Amino acid sequence: MKIAVLSRNPRLYSTRRLVEAGQLRGHEMVVVDTLRAYMNIASHKPQIHYRGKPLEGFDAVIPRIGASVTFYGCAVLRQFEMMGVFPLNESVAIARSRDKLRSLQLLSRRGIGLPVTGFAHSPDDIPDLIAMVNGAPLVIKVLEGTQGIGVVLCETEKAAESVIEAFMGLKQNIMVQEYIKEAGGADIRCFVVGDKVIAAMKRQAKPGEFRSNLHRGGSASLIKITPEERMTAIRAAKVMGLSVAGVDILRSNHGPLVMEVNSSPGLEGIETTTSQDVASLVIQYLEKNGGPHLTRTKGKG
Ligand code: ADP
């Protein structure tokens, strides 16, 4: 197959590994810089141009779209879809997953366990919003944040009120969430490919920190997940419409709670921790499921 990897930087670990794994399995791998792909959207024959030439002959595309380029990246991916190129994850699903609130609404509709979460616009509604998530301690999250930035733990209701007011004053969209204390600063990253969890790791926050993100100094270790956690991760990816996803789960007293479903999960932490050849499993998924004109949505919806 001829496979495009949509990525801003060919030197990134995940991009390098996908290229390497694809080549080892006999595919032609081409890294396409997301922001350098441009397109004629009104043409009856959809095309993408790249460095002065049309991109042609691709069978599949692996989107590695960073949060800061979601809008443009999804437009490029949609164009690939319109050209009949098979996407590892579809543009519609990626766009969905980038809005934390929308994702939680979709997951809750299908009965997937989630931390109690509230969303409000007016400062007048703050007291009831706090009561809705069972009071302090609670977590406040900026909707478009990543890597733990914009996630704040408030120990008291007074502190929570002030922080929520401040975010509202700054016109930042935030959600308010019950704090899952019993998770003990740990979460579980389940790497889903198709209908399987192919690797899982536990991430533990450093002492004095509740966010377990590796970017925030968290450490990763191997973990054996329960059948319930496995099923939750697979269902969450499916509800979001993602073939490949990193599903983050908190272990609560009442079972697994999904915190987030990531549509471009990094490979470095999970491959290093689990010694799984995740990149190769992703390529094998494309070999098995890819093909021309097989996208479900072609960017619709
Ligand atoms: P980001 O997308 O920026 O990583 P997350 O929502 O995943 O934001 O939160 C970052 C980290 O904070 C999580 O990995 C988890 O360790 C911790 N965390 C987030 N929400 C909660 C919560 N409701 N209860 C306990 N810990 C949480």
Residue 259, ligand 1, Cβ within 6 A: yes
Strand order in the sheet with 37-40: 37-40, 47-50, 53-54
- Mind giving me the DSSP string for 196-233? EEEEEEEEEPPTT-----GGGT-EEEE-PPPHHHHHHH
pLDDT for 249 equals 98
Residue 139, ligand 1, Cβ within 6 A: yes
The CA 256 to ligand 1 mean position distance, Å, reads 14
Beta bridge partners of 138: 154, 178
DSSP-derived secondary structure letter, 292:
T
DSSP-derived secondary structure letter, 71:
H
**Position 258, amino acid:** V
pLDDT for 145 equals 75
Residue 25 in tokens: 């399995």
Which three-class secondary structure state does DSSP give residue 58?
coil
pLDDT tens across 136-171, in order? 999 999 887 778 888 999 999 999 999 999 999 999
pLDDT for 183 equals 96
- Could you tell me where the DSSP H helices lie in the chain? 13-24, 70-82, 91-97, 100-109, 126-132, 157-169, 227-240, 268-274, 278-289
pLDDT tens across 34-74, in order? 999 999 888 788 999 999 999 999 999 999 999 889 999 99
Residue 260, ligand 1, Cβ within 6 A: yes
The CA 176 to ligand 1 mean position distance, Å, reads 12
- Return the half-sphere exposure (C-beta side, CA atoms, 13 A cut-off) of residue 104: 20
Give the integer Cα–Cα distance in Å for 280 and 201.
18
Nearest-CA residue for atom 18 of ligand 1: 211
* Residue ranges of the chain whose pLDDT lies below 70: 292-301
Nearest Cα residue to 18 out of 265, 189, 214, 201: 265
The CA 154 to ligand 1 mean position distance, Å, reads 13
The pTM assigned to this predicted structure is 0.94
The CA 146 to ligand 1 mean position distance, Å, reads 10
Strand order in the sheet with 86-87: 28-32, 2-6, 60-63, 86-87
Phi-psi sector, 194: left (phi>0), alpha (psi -120 to 50), beta: left
Residues 6+ apart with CB under 8 A from 51: 36
Q: What angle do CA 70, 71, 77 make, to 5 degrees?
A: 80
